[in-house]
Amino acid sequence: MSSRSFSDITQAQWMRACRKLGLVVETGFGKGSHIRIFNPKTQSKYTIQYNLHKFINIKIFKKMMEWGIEENDIWEALK
């Protein structure tokens, strides 16, 4: 993993990054503020909560890498 900071990534930044990476972002399910991302290639889904911290951001990052997205591509999308 890169030495970039995971501690200050917000849900809105993840939403933009996911869209840039070709993932589908679904909002408006239920009453909460969570979003669901969907990988059309693998049919996999993952939920991102509103309040994030370093360890959750690392978990989201690793999930995207499991889906076959390169580390550098994720960091570039998060810019």
Is residue 55 scored above 70 in pLDDT? yes
| Contact call for residues 48 and 33 (beta carbons, < 8 A) | no
* Residue type, position 8, single letter: D
Residues in the chain: 79
CB proximity list for 17: less than 8 A, separation 6 or greater = 74, 77, 78
Show me where the domains of the chain are located. 11-78
Residue 10 has pLDDT above 60, yes or no: yes
pTM: 0.86
The CA distances from residue 57 to 31, 35, 49, in Å, are 23, 14, 10
